Copies of this chain bind each other. A is one copy, B any other.
Amino acid sequence: MSHTQALCRFLAELHDAQLPDAVLARTEELYLDWLASALASQGSHPIPLFERYAQKMGPATGPAQIIVNGASSSAYFAALVNAAASHLVEQDDLHNSSVLHPATVVFPAALAAAQDLGKSGRELLLAAVAGYEAGIRIGEFMGRSHYRIFHTTATVGTLAAAVAVGKLLDFNEEQFINLLGSAGTQAAGLWEFLRDAADSKQLHTAKAAADGLLAAYLTADGLSGARNILEGEQGLAAGMSSDAEPSKLSAGLGSRWALLETSFKFHASCRHTHPAADALLGLMQREGLGAAEIAKVETRVYQGAIDVLGRVMVPATVHQAKFSMGTVLGLIAVHGKAGLTEFHQWALGDPAVAAFRDKVSMTFDRAVDDAYPQRWLGRVTVTCVDGRTLHGAVDEPKGDPGNTLDRGQLADKFQRLCQFSGARTPAQASALIEKVWNLRSAVSMAHWL
């Protein structure tokens, strides 16, 4: 039995009673965190473009809800818009060793299909678990070489979204094999946009969720796909990876819940900046250091951080600033935080942040690189104005499984994100939070929002 086949069999046989309580509970938390990210982007460019596209090309109304505007559409367009929306403010979750943002592709597709099909909250949760478990393993399988050029959340995200919808459609092993074929052959998304601060990141997640859903609905109707799209000679790894490891596809199925390893984002920036941000923050607090006392910060990082962040020198937009190591550390040093509000107030216009940005460098570090992507180590060396050299280190950035956010902290983050965009009043947000904590009891996801 191939690794792909083993994965598909697991997905087909996965059932509700198998899920440990901790997995169910964490999936609700990830769902809340995802909703927060979508709501926070209400009204922000380029999300209205996707809303208008759905209006123009889709039906006037439909069974699936669009989070940012309260409208409805077919499942396809709801997945498209909600996935674009939930990846804009850089607050959505991340799985370390796969370098995949699962929520922003899995939940939009799963929610849209669950609403279309009238599925329950428990069924939505089960589908999401399937999407996470498959997506994370496929991301790990594709390896670091893939992520150097390709945005894994876009490419692998298409398969993760497809699997979640396939689970809602009660696919058997054979259907999951065909589904991976049809989803995998649509996998796309290049990092090139980053250096231009272009809008592709939201296009990527929008298309991944929508394409994955499309693959699942067509598979349900009888479309066949390549049986070995992951491992085959003209498949995904053959075309887009040089270090793929097939055994990752089936490792620990049913015993290891990869979903539990997913990190919540605390800072509102690219996750590659978080280890250094936490290391700097810890060092400054420990030493009682102010920004003005710092002459230089050397962050010692893995190659992936350089590949993604190394393109951004002077950020041109708030979104691009989230990929600027210097800006993130500047916000931390000058304002003590790098949340959504700090980014919008100070990431571009504050001379103190800009000045600090120019003090920050990134250096490749062999030991940090060896640990990655299983562990995202933060290492900074600070040279003080008075000549001292200080070291800061963090092994589990805030939000990582060993340093996670609890339900109270997630509710706080939800409130902050709703407040940022004005998408919900505090009272409305509280009600929505309660609804999510009872997601597993929801009889039907139809009109859930």
| A residues whose Cβ falls under 8 Å from a Cβ of B | 45-46, 49-50, 52-53, 56-60, 74-77, 148-150, 154, 178, 181-182, 184-200, 203-204, 207, 211, 214, 217-218, 221-229, 232-236, 238-240, 307
Contact = CB atoms under 8 A, between A and B. Distances in A.
A155 to B, nearest CB: 8
A190 B232 CA distance: 10
B59 A221 contact: no
A223 B88 CA distance: 14
A99 to B, nearest CB: 15
B222 A200 contact: no
A59 B60 CA distance: 7
Contacts of A192: 181, 184-185, 226, 228-229, 232-236, 238
A362 to B, nearest CB: 17
Given A56-B74, A190-B226, 7 more contacts: A46-B222, A57-B58, A148-B234, A182-B203, A185-B190, A196-B228, A199-B225
B193 A226 contact: yes
Contacts of A52: 221
A236 B57 contact: no
> Which of A75, A185, A196, A214 has most chain B Cβ within 10 Å?
A185
Contacts of A185: 154, 188-190, 192-193, 200, 203-204
Nearest to A60: B59
Contacts of A207: 186, 211
B191 A203 contact: no
A317 to B, nearest CB: 10
Nearest to A202: B223
B218 A200 contact: no
Contacts of A187: 188
A200 to B, nearest CB: 5
Contacts of A228: 192, 196
A139 to B, nearest CB: 16
Contacts of A199: 182, 223-225
Contact of A190 (B154, B193, B194, B236): B236
Contacts of A234: 148-149, 190-192, 194, 307
A81 to B, nearest CB: 12
Contact of A49 (B150, B211, B222, B232): B222
B56 A239 contact: no
Contacts of A239: 149-150, 190, 240
A27 B186 CA distance: 29
Contacts of A148: 234
The list of the 8 closest CB pairs from A to B, nearest first, reads A188-B188, A191-B234, A193-B226, A149-B239, A192-B226, A57-B76, A192-B235, A57-B74
A8 to B, nearest CB: 14
Contact of A203 (B60, B186, B193): B186
Contacts of A190: 184-185, 226, 229, 234-236, 238-239
A307 B337 CA distance: 54
Contact of A227 (B76, B198, B217, B226): B198
A223 B49 contact: yes
> Which of A53, A150, A224 has most chain B Cβ within 10 Å?
A224
A74 B45 CA distance: 24
A57 B45 contact: no
A154 B239 CA distance: 14
A182 B46 CA distance: 13
A53 to B, nearest CB: 6
A202 to B, nearest CB: 9
Contacts of A49: 218, 221-223
A227 B198 CA distance: 8
Nearest to A77: B57
A200 B181 contact: yes
Given A57-B75, A149-B239, A218-B53, A225 B198 contact: yes
